[in-house]
């Protein structure tokens, strides 16, 4: 028992503040009238239409049970100093059912983005960054995947398919690992956050950006957001 306690204390001393790293979790909701979205018209490409047996709706507003809001990118704006290197594991964005999955993603600068073509039909991946160099990757049925690396941090930018105009996604290139994307349940988690007071930013492609302050102190902190349609000016 004494040895176990001693080893725990030694690990805490060696790891310093990392031993007290916590997490920031939250839930994002949509506090407004949910519009009736029109299904995407995929008839222009029968190969796309044939991949679905029910209507497919645009992903710019994904509202789940309890008005939970998905596809919201969350990050620490005043991120703590981090020595974390770009993960060796790629972030995968798949072209499946003539959609980009996931619709919103974050990567660290220098991390590989693996674009897959699970549809087995002609797609192209046209990235529109402004800090990094733009890219346009043709993906015929024979090309199942293609890697892309962006080395400079950059806010969220759009990726589109010139073949299928309804297909789009958003990618953020980050200088740190403190970010997340809300799921269909509206929940997100940013892990391994050292003690401190932080500004948390939540971004939605149509509903804008919100910020809030949280304090992490020896464990977990929470930050919830509620979005609504911006008032017309």
Give the DSSP H/E element, type plus range, for residue 104: strand 104-108
Q: Where are the domains of the chain?
A: 1-48+61-81+176-233, 85-175
- pLDDT tens by residue, 83-133: 889 999 999 999 999 999 999 999 999 999 999 999 999 999 999 999 999
The correct CATH number of 85-175 out of 2.60.40.420, 3.30.310.50, 3.40.50.1220, 1.20.1630.10 is 2.60.40.420
> What's the pLDDT band for 20 if we cut at 50, 70, 90?
low
Strand partners, 212: 200
pLDDT at residue 7 is higher than 70: no
pLDDT at 21: 77
* Distance, CA of 161 to CA of 94 (rounded, Å): 12
CA 232 vs CA 23, 34, 207, 215: distances in Å: 36, 17, 12, 34
Answer whether CATH 3.40.50.300 is correct for domain 1-48+61-81+176-233: no
Q: Is 110 exposed, middle or buried (0-12, 13-18, 19+ CB in 10 A)?
A: middle
CA 34 vs CA 38, 89, 102, 232: distances in Å: 12, 37, 22, 17
> What's the pLDDT band for 16 if we cut at 50, 70, 90?
very low
Average per-residue pLDDT for the chain: 91
CA 1 vs CA 5, 6, 10, 13, 19: distances in Å: 6, 9, 14, 19, 20
> What's the pLDDT band for 17 if we cut at 50, 70, 90?
very low
């Amino acid at each position: 028992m004494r040895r176990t306690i001693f080893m725990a204390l030694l690990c805490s001393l060696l790891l310093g503040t990392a031993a007290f790293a916590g997490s920031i979790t939250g839930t994002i909701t949509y506090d407004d009238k949910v519009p009736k979205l029109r299904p995407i018209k995929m008839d222009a490409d029968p190969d796309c239409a044939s991949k679905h047996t029910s209507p497919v709706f645009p992903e710019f507003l994904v509202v789940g049970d309890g008005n939970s809001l998905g596809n919201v990118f969350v990050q620490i704006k005043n991120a703590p100093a981090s020595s974390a290197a770009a993960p060796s594991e790629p972030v995968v964005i798949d072209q499946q059912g003539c959609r980009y999955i996931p619709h919103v993603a974050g990567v660290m600068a220098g991390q590989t983005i693996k674009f897959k073509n699970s549809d087995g039909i002609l797609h192209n991946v046209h990235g529109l960054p402004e800090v990094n160099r733009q890219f346009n990757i043709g993906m015929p049925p024979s090309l199942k995947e293609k890697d892309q690396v962006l080395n400079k941090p950059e806010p969220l930018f759009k990726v589109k398919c010139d073949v299928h105009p309804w297909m789009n996604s958003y990618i953020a290139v980050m200088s740190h690992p403190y970010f997340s994307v809300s799921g269909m349940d509206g929940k997100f988690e940013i892990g391994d956050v050292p003690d401190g007071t932080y500004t948390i930013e939540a971004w939605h492609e149509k509903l804008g950006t919100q910020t809030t302050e949280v304090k992490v102190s020896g464990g977990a902190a929470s930050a919830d957001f509620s979005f609504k349609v911006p008032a017309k000016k």
